[in-house]
Amino acid sequence: MEIVEILAEILKYIVPAVLVLIAIKYLNDVQVEKEKVESHTRFKSELLKQQLPLKLSAYERAVLFLERISPMSILPRCGNGINRTAQQFHAELIQEIRSEFEHNLVQQIYISHHAWGVLVQAKEEMINIINIASKELNEEANGLDLSKKIIEKISTLQSLPTHKATFVLKSDVHKIFEV
């Protein structure tokens, strides 16, 4: 019985000590996990503070791009084709759209993939409208004739591709601020 009594005496001290160590380990793990979550939350908050202005600026520039390539903006800005042939004015309009696009290409980093796709699609549709209008003119047509034909083409649309894309961009910005 001496061994049993010795073991019982040892267990009387070891079991509570082990239980205390397990409880301390558990509480320590909970605290470490809580600190990880708080650290991650602080990191995301700081990242958002830095990225939000960049994201908003990218969306603003994207909307400005869409506005600049819309017919009501690009035609007057390029002079409505006065004193140029339709082919010259056509080339100038296409070059202007492509130049504007290249100037804003980097904005895709901060804009959602879907919104960027819609923006690119709007650009391509605007180029397509200009191309179709140009093909419908005879060779003697001037730039003003092309302007009129483009306006005629867009007047048959329910909404401009640039307006549709702007709506998607605005929706994305509103989602950023949803809590």
pLDDT classification of 82: cutoffs 50, 70, 90: confident
**Mind giving me the DSSP string for the chain?**
-HHHHHHHHHHHHHHHHHHHHHHHHHHHHHHHHHHHHHHHHHHHHHHHHHHHHHHHHHHHHHHHHHHHHSHHHHHHHTGGGTTSBHHHHHHHHHHHHHHHHHHTGGGGGTS-HHHHHHHHHHHHHHHHHHHHHHHTS-TT-BHHHHHHHHHHHHHTSSS-HHHHHHHHHHHHHHHHT--
What's the pTM?
Answer: 0.75
In tens, the pLDDT along 37-67 reads 998 888 888 877 888 899 999 999 999 999 9
Residue 1: per-residue pLDDT: 65
So where are the chain's domains? Answer: 54-176
131 pLDDT more than 70:
yes
Distance CA 112, CA 173 (A): 10
